[in-house]
Amino acid sequence: MQGTRKIGPLRPASRFFLAPMAGYNDIAFRTLCIKAGAGLAYTGMINPLSRARFALGDRPAVQLFTESGRGVGAFMKKHASEAALFDLNLGCAAPVARKKRFGSYLDDLDVIEKTLKAMRDAAATAGKPVTLKMRKTAKAMEIVALAEKHCDAVCIHPRTRSQGYGGEPDMAFALSVRDAVSIPVIYSGNVGIANGLQLLKDFDFVMIGRNALGNPGIFAALAGKRCSIGFDDYLKLAQRHGLPFNQIRLHAMHFARGMTGASRLRLALSKTRNEERIRTLLEGH
């Protein structure tokens, strides 16, 4: 099955995806990653019970989190036309996930299955794929079985909760997940230029997360193409969509990585109070 180009009825343009990252994956950043060649760009985690307004005009892959399944179906029906697919987050290892029992801490198999059934039913009418993103946990293979039953694909981040986003991913475990299912498998965890193409030999799709921050062009590089994308490109889109200043500054600090005097530059950026000052600082480097 590895090497498939489809997730349910969806055929992404590339097998490299922008991984869901809470706090980072705004519409401007997602748009730049798609421009550079990402096949899909995920939102950060979204609570389906939230009353916030979500910028989904770029038709991203929408990731949902829940501790009970409440509101998932209604949210999906409301936003079906704006989403490429819907994903259930069973991978978040943050302290708040532990406190609220969602993400990788949601281990009630009955709740997980009930949620996946609701997602499947809500997605069926609109013809949208349903996926699940998970970690290496004590109930991982039982969750894999539920994904096989109810999802169009499963994404494995083969680190434990205690590892967070550091430490070595357990590749043997990821391969055991791949071998346990017939649906496509998406790999996530410590993906970059050095190993991205190799991972495509073992998995259907590959997600890139933190290595894309400040560097959307990584998707073009993996395809053997050149793509010049800088902070100005992000800023124009951020202003067009009315993103808040703190969000713009956050991304500016990542675009500063690799520049001369990056540590001092990032410190200076952290103290800025307007967009023109950010632009001046980055242009000076």
The string of pLDDT tens digits covering residues 102-118 is 999 999 999 999 999 99
Mean pLDDT of the chain: 95
Classified by CATH at the fold level, domain 16-222 comes out as TIM Barrel (3.20.20)
pLDDT band at 1 (very low <50, low <70, confident <90, very high): very low
The pLDDT of residue 4 is 63
- Could you give the C-alpha distances from 245 to 58, 196, 216, 252, 274, in angstroms and in order? 21, 33, 20, 10, 7
Report pLDDT digits (tens) over 219-256.
999 999 989 999 999 999 999 999 999 999 999 999 99
User: What are 132's strand-pairing partners?
Assistant: 88, 154
Domain boundaries, the chain: 16-222, 231-235+244-283
Give pLDDT, residue 160.
95
* CA dist., res. 235 & res. 218, Å (int): 19
pLDDT tens per residue, range 171-213:
999 999 999 999 999 999 999 999 999 999 999 999 999 999 9
Pairwise CA distance, residues 22 & 45, whole Å: 6
% pLDDT > 70, the chain: 99
Phi, psi of 208 (to 5 degrees): -120, 130
